[in-house]
A = this chain, B = another copy of it.
Amino acid sequence: MNVQLDQAADKKCAIFESTLKLVRVRGFHGSPMSQIAQDAGVAIGTIYHYFSSKDELLIALFDNCKQKIAKAMFKPAEDHLPYPDRFVAVWTNLVCFYIERPEILSFMEQFFSSPYAAVVYGSGCNIQMKNEMSNFLEQGIGKNHIKPLDINILTAAFMGTVTAAAKRHINGHYAFNETAMREMVSIIWDGIKR
């Protein structure tokens, strides 16, 4: 039973990874189910056993990525760092995660700037990540580390700089080493700190 579940999880995982890989280089557009299946080493029918449609596969993959992102950002070991250090850590964690897994950044961006985004905005299913991020920033305001700006402004500044930095690194415009990342996170930290 356990073995079966693991096999099923493995297959789902393989389908997810193949989808990420293909979507990054070919777009949603150029990633047919037939190629996803071939790349994942399963039959087309198997994908439809786990996901009722291509749309559902992409939405499930989106949820899966969201969880991975949240896990990569907030590490228990860093929970009790002084707030400014923790801010730098969380920002850097996310940039590093995106740099390590460019296909996830690409997928998330394509997803958000596509009609699928409506599915997510419409329902309340992105509450989890929003809350974790919002909580973190609100905590900073509450403890007087951050100016009392609207949470949306803070979130936009945070996420905007993260994705812009990661994209620039990935497309080869600029190598964001440790120094560059510290410089960049300093820009936003200097801008929002009390």
Binding site for B on A (CB under 8 A): 25-30, 106, 109-110, 112-117, 121, 149-150, 152-153, 155-157, 159-165, 167-168, 171-174, 180, 183-184, 186-192
Contact = CB atoms under 8 A, between A and B. Distances in A.
Nearest to A184: B153
9 contacts: A26-B115, A110-B113, A152-B168, A152-B174, A153-B174, A153-B180, A157-B164, A160-B162, A187-B191
Nearest to A160: B164
A29 B30 CA distance: 8
Contact of A152 (B116, B162, B173): B173
Nearest to A149: B183
A168 to B, nearest CB: 5
A112 B110 CA distance: 9
A190 B149 CA distance: 14
Contacts of A192: 187
Contacts of A189: 191
B113 A150 contact: no
B152 A156 contact: no
Contact of A164 (B26, B156, B186): B156
B121 A114 contact: no
Contacts of A150: 174, 180, 183
Contacts of A27: 28-29, 114-116
A165 B26 CA distance: 28
Given A156-B165, A160-B161, A189-B191, 10 more contacts: A29-B29, A29-B114, A109-B113, A150-B183, A153-B184, A157-B161, A160-B160, A160-B163, A160-B164, A187-B188
